Amino acid sequence: MPGSVALIGGGPGAADLMTVRALRLLDQADVVYYDRLAPTDELAAWAPRARLVDVGKRPGHHRVPQEEINRLLVASARSGLRVVRLKGGDPFVFGRGSEEVSACRDAGIEVSVVPGITSAVSAPAAAGIPVTARGLSTSFTVITGHDPLSERALAALAHLGGTTVVLMGMGTLGHTAAGLVRHGMSPETPAGLVERGCTPDQRVCIAPLGRILLASAMAGIASPAVLVIGEVVRLAPGAEQRLRDLVQSA
Ligand code: SAH
């Protein structure tokens, strides 16, 4: 009997933000390949029969290369195992989920995808920031800040309106904020960083866009964090105060 692969979104990190389907598949799993952003504290109880393999890091802190993960998924399924690939957030939002699905399909392995709650929406929400709000923002754009945003992307975002959400954006925060202002976005535009949203370690940092890098450095905000830019940030509890204080001290 050939095995199968289920690509599961584990949500933003809180155990009770996993889906019922995710828990059911984990319960039946023979092997689980998991990432460091997925909720893992209770993984041994959720997947009682499974071998648990951390592919997010290795001794020496190197991630397992994507090709190797693809190979492991296919090899395990070929040997007849029920394989779960557990990822943080949603598997198809910057999770390289599509590459894993392709690898399975190319190998003729049955593969299913279980959506998860993406941090792009849930981390802002946990800080009281809705990505859309009637009268303030009627759209949101989710973009990766893993590599510095191009001038074209910065120019487009600066004039797009709505809410901008940047994932993997801590390393390029200064480039993004300065670039948006250079392309015409007001430095007074409200911006917020939500670190480890939806977890007990959640921290929030709110400042005008022109000062978000400084505010973030002062607060020591670190990855994983979501950057939110737009008027909706004003709706976070205490935001107006933070935005005023920083403008005055500028
Ligand atoms: N597939 C994931 C995103 C993977 S990219 C999802 O849908 O959420 C990894 C980035 O996600 C991190 O750099 C960070 O920007 C964001 N992220 C993931 N979990 C987060 C959390 N709990 N709080 C804030 N940001 C988070």
What pLDDT, on the 0 to 100 scale, is given for residue 62?
73
Among candidate residues 84, 114, 144, the one where a domain is terminated = 114
Query: Is the pLDDT confidence value at 108 over 80?
Result: yes
pLDDT at 27: 98
pLDDT band at 248; cut points 50, 70, 90: low
Average pLDDT of the chain? Answer: 95
pLDDT at position 1, please? 77
* Owning domain of residue 17: 4-114
126/89 same-domain check: no
Whether residue 145 sits in one domain with residue 227: yes
| Largest CA-CA distance found in the chain, in angstroms, rounded | 68
How confident is residue 59, by pLDDT bands cut at 50, 70 and 90? low
If one compares 63 and 89, the residue with the highest pLDDT of the two is: 89
Single-letter amino acid code for the residue at 2: P
Position 63 scores a pLDDT of 79
Q: Are 186 and 235 in the same domain?
A: yes
Q: Is the CB of 185 under 6 A from ligand 1?
A: no
How high is the pLDDT of residue 244? 87
Q: Is 217 found in the same domain as 169?
A: yes
Which among 114, 141, 159 is the end of a domain? 114
**Average pLDDT rounded to a whole number, residues 199-210:** 97
Domain end marker among 114, 132, 153: 114
The reported pLDDT for the residue numbered 247 is 54
What is the CATH classification number for the domain harbouring 222? 3.30.950.10
Residue 56's pLDDT band (cuts 50, 70, 90) = confident
| 87 annotated active-site | no
User: What's the CA-to-centroid distance between 2 and ligand 1, angstroms?
Assistant: 33
Q: What is the pLDDT of residues 146-156, one digit of tens each?
A: 999 999 999 99
- Are residues 240 and 164 part of one domain? yes
Which residue in the list 35, 87, 90, 170 is annotated as catalytic? 35
In this structure, the answer to whether residues 135 and 243 fall within a common structural domain is: yes
pLDDT at 198: 97
Same domain as 225, residue 130: yes
At 137, give phi and psi (nearest 5°): -155, 125
Cα(213)–Cα(219) distance, integer angstroms = 10
How do residues 157-188 score in pLDDT, each as one tens digit? 999 999 999 999 999 999 999 999 999 999 99
Closest CA to 220 of 247, 193, 249, 241: 193
> Which residue type is seen at 111?
V
pLDDT mean over 62-86: 95
Please work out whether the CB of residue 56 comes within 6 Å of at least one atom of ligand 1: no
Whether residue 19 sits in one domain with residue 80: yes
Same domain? For 209 and 88 the reply is no
Task: Specify the number of domains making up the chain.
Answer: 2
- Does residue 222 sit in the same domain as residue 141? yes
Residue 5 · residue 97 · CB < 8 Å: no
CA distance 28 to 183: 52
Q: Is the pLDDT of residue 98 over 60?
A: yes
Q: Same domain for 226 and 140?
A: yes
Do 244 and 196 share a structural domain?
Answer: yes
Q: Report whether residue 69 contacts ligand 1, using a CB cutoff of 6 Å.
A: no
